[in-house]
């Protein structure tokens, strides 16, 4: 059985026209599918208005309790439900979820070492049978980048990692096609040239690009997640432009293909 798991980045969500086009293409995909969405800049804008300070330590965002409330509202409420309502209008029976709902993605609050990231969760366990049950009932799970810790807390979670974790869990039962969609055409060999897409990326090519500094810091966690997913049973991983979702699924030739 095939399963398409699509992650859509925050920059696409922030752009109403791109987001609408993406959701139309997603709704039109046949067969079982799952969407994991990022947060976008709405949370930051709303945090500013609510006088919730965005705290950064060593360039990393910290999720303190007020910021956790903002992301829970914005990712789990506003962004998730707007996507669900739009997909419902497009005939896709979307079911909005955070990891807490049905206990579907359990996480652990990140341990404090050098930095206290606050209410940030690292995924521990994905309840694949429950997701499978939703899929068998023709529901399309739409995940916000939030998990929980069984101690009463919601946790802010990286959407790329969440997508990879869900893909790995579902790979035991499905032939999983994991597609990271964002605002670029793929992984670029020249960050200044949007057309310099690397068509295929193996671990050794990746190591070379990293060593030469061509692949930028923002792309590294996404690629690490992509390779990890393949190593743990996911059939195929693609990184492509949100506009090319349809072709990436149908032809499998768009963007950057991640290969072991």
Taking the complex as a whole, how short is the minimal distance between the CB of residue 87 and a copy of itself, in angstroms? 9
Is 77 part of any known ligand binding site?
no
- Helix (H) or strand (E) holding 104, with range, is none
For a copy of itself, which residue of 15, 24, 102, 108 counts as binding (CB under 8 A)? 102
Q: Which of 94, 88, 118 lies closest to 37 in space, CA to CA?
A: 94
Taking the complex as a whole, how short is the minimal distance between the CB of residue 89 and a copy of itself, in angstroms? 4
Q: What is the Cα–Cα distance from 97 to 91, expressed in whole angstroms?
A: 18
Is residue 139 within the footprint of a copy of itself (CB under 8 A)?
yes
For a copy of itself, which residue of 66, 73, 124, 228 counts as binding (CB under 8 A)? 73
- Please say which residue, 46 or 235, places its beta carbon nearer to a copy of itself: 46
Strand partners, 36: 7, 143
**For 184-227, what is the HEC assignment?**
CCCCECCCCCCCCECCEECHHHHHHHHHHCCCCCCHHHHHHHHH
Within 13 Å, how many C-alpha atoms sit on residue 207's CB side? 4
For 83, other C-beta atoms within 10 Å of its C-beta total 22
For a copy of itself, which residue of 113, 114, 137, 204 counts as binding (CB under 8 A)? 137
Is residue 32 within the footprint of a copy of itself (CB under 8 A)?
no
Q: Show contacts with a copy of itself in window 149-188 (CB under 8 A).
A: 150-154
Is residue 235 within the footprint of a copy of itself (CB under 8 A)?
no
- Please say which residue, 74 or 198, places its beta carbon nearer to a copy of itself: 74
Known binding-site residue numbers: 39-40, 61, 156
């Amino acid at each position: 059985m095939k399963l398409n798991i699509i992650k859509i980045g925050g920059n696409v969500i922030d752009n109403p026209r791109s987001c609408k086009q993406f959701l139309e293409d997603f709704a039109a995909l046949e067969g079982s599918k799952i969407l994991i969405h990022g947060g976008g800049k709405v949370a930051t804008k709303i945090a500013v208005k609510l006088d919730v300070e965005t705290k950064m330590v060593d360039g990393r965002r910290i999720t303190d309790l007020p910021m956790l409330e903002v992301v829970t509202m914005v990712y789990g409420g506003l962004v998730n439900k707007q996507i669900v309502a739009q997909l419902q209008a497009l005939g896709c029976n979307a079911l909005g979820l955070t990891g807490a709902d049905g206990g579907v993605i359990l996480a652990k609050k990140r341990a404090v070492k050098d930095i206290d990231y606050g209410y940030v969760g690292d995924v521990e366990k994905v309840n694949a049978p429950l997701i499978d049950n939703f899929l068998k009932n023709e529901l399309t799970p739409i995940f916000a980048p939030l998990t929980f810790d069984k101690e009463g807390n919601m946790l802010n979670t990286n959407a790329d990692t969440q997508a990879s974790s869900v893909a790995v869990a579902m790979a035991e039962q499905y032939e999983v096609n994991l597609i990271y969609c964002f605002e670029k055409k793929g992984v670029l060999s020249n960050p200044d040239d949007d057309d310099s897409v690397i068509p295929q990326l193996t671990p050794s090519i990746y190591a070379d690009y990293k060593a030469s500094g061509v692949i930028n810091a923002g792309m590294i966690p996404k690629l690490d997640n992509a390779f990890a997913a393949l190593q743990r049973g996911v059939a195929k991983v693609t990184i492509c432009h949100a506009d090319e979702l349809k072709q990436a699924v149908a032809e499998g030739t768009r963007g950057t293909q991640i290969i072991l």
